[in-house]
Amino acid sequence: MALTRTTVTDDSGAGTDGTVANNAWFQTVWDTIDARWSRTTTTSTGTQTVINPSEADLLICNNATDLTIRSLTAPSSPAKPAKKLVIISTGAGNVFINHQDTTGTTAANRVICLATSGPAPLAAGVGCAVCVYDDNASRWRLIAHEQGAWLTATYSGGNFTGNGSMTWTVDSGDITTMAYRLQGRTLIVSWYVATTTVGGTPSSQLIISNGAWGSFTAAKTVLSVVLANDNGAGNTQVFAQVSGAAGTTIIVQKNSGNWTAATNATAIFGAITFEVN
């Protein structure tokens, strides 16, 4: 909100009817300026169409479970170019800031994030972000983001599949690590998955869908050397690949041949770094 204007009466010249600009008067001015900086806290959870920081400079997210923010209330008039809003997670739930989310939101309240294909994640209790209001574009802009800690998506067996008629069963307990970290538009995905089952008609690709890594899509084609243990035969070099054509999968593939149909005997270990949209 605008600073409170302290009324000043111009002296008529008589020296008796103007505002006395004494220490008390100046203290009123300074106190008004000091009050300019403020903080607000939200404990909202789930998906929120809009979070209103109420002109505050600091938004504390003390959500007990995950919070997804579709939009943030824009600063009120008059225009406040670069009005800053620092968002910090202090609660037990993660915070996700959606990019230009149009679902039920007012355009001027939307946030332009660094990565556009998935939400900017703030890990519970440590993640933080800085937004500034671009009054020219009438949007918040996420100008700084620190995820704070690696995140693990909620387990879904459907995120792990085989190509063709091959099946790949990954139980939740098979996953020691399946985590991701977003920095700018750089995503690092790391996995340590063992005692999985390959079935059906053996084929060449074990596929990890982006539901397991924040739902982002790849912007560049990247290939990374990783490790696998096919049917307990010992760790060997294989490769992981994402496709830059808005890829939604990490494909783990042997250098030659198909994976072996085996029960609880297939493991993959590795990480891949790539740009996301």
Q: Does 135 bind another protein (CB under 8 A)?
A: no
Tell the smallest beta-carbon distance from residue 199 to another protein (Å). 12
* CB 109 within 8 Å of CB 51: no
CA 218 to chain centre: 15
Contact between 218 and 243 under an 8 Å Cβ cutoff? The reply is: yes
Residue with Cβ nearer another protein (101 or 174): 174
In the bound state with another protein, the residue whose beta carbon lies nearer, of 18 and 157, is: 157
User: What is the closest distance, in whole angstroms, from the C-beta atom of residue 153 to another protein in the complex?
Assistant: 19
CB closer to another protein, 4 vs 263: 263
Kindly write out the interface string for residues 224-243 of this chain, putting x where it contacts another protein by CB under 8 A and - elsewhere.
--------xxx---------
Size of the site for another protein (CB under 8 A): 15
Sheet-wide strand order for 46-48: 46-48, 67-69, 95-97, 120-122
Which residue number, 196 or 205, has a Cβ lying nearer to another protein? 196
> Residue 234 CB, nearest distance to another protein (Å)?
6
Task: Report in angstroms how near the CB of residue 172 gets to another protein at its nearest.
Answer: 8
CB of 69 to another protein, least distance (A): 36
Q: How far are the Cα atoms of 163, 173, 239, 258, 261 from residue 203, in angstroms, in the given order?
A: 6, 24, 15, 5, 9
Q: How far is CA 172 from the centre of its chain?
A: 23
For residues 97 and 67, is the Cβ–Cβ distance under 8 A?
A: no
Q: Of 138, 264, 273, 277, which one interacts with another protein (CB under 8 A)?
A: 264
Scan for tokens 């970290």, then name that residue: 181
DSSP-H helix ranges across the chain: 23-34
Contact at 8 Å (CB) between 253 and 204?
yes
Of 157-196, binders to another protein (CB under 8 A) are 171, 173-174, 176, 194-195
Closest CB to another protein among residues 154, 256: 256
Do 114 and 120 form a contact (C-beta atoms < 8 A)?
Answer: yes
- Bridge partner list, 168: 198
Return the residues of window 61-90 that contact another protein according to CB under 8 A: none
| Smallest separation (angstroms) from another protein to the CB of 228 | 12
Q: Which of 54, 76, 183, 263 binds another protein (CB under 8 A)?
A: 263
Shortest reach from residue 170's CB to another protein, in Å:
10
Q: To the nearest whole angstrom, how small is the minimum distance from the Cβ of residue 37 to another protein?
A: 49
User: Residue 115: is it exposed, middle or buried by C-beta count within 10 angstroms (0-12/13-18/19+)?
Assistant: buried
| Window 16-45: residues binding another protein (CB under 8 A) | none
Binding residue for another protein (CB under 8 A) from 46, 157, 184, 257? 257
In the chain, the amino acid numbered 50 is: V
Cβ-contact 55, 75 below 8 angstroms? yes
Binding stretches for another protein (CB under 8 A): 171, 173-174, 176, 194-195, 232-234, 256-257, 263-265, 267
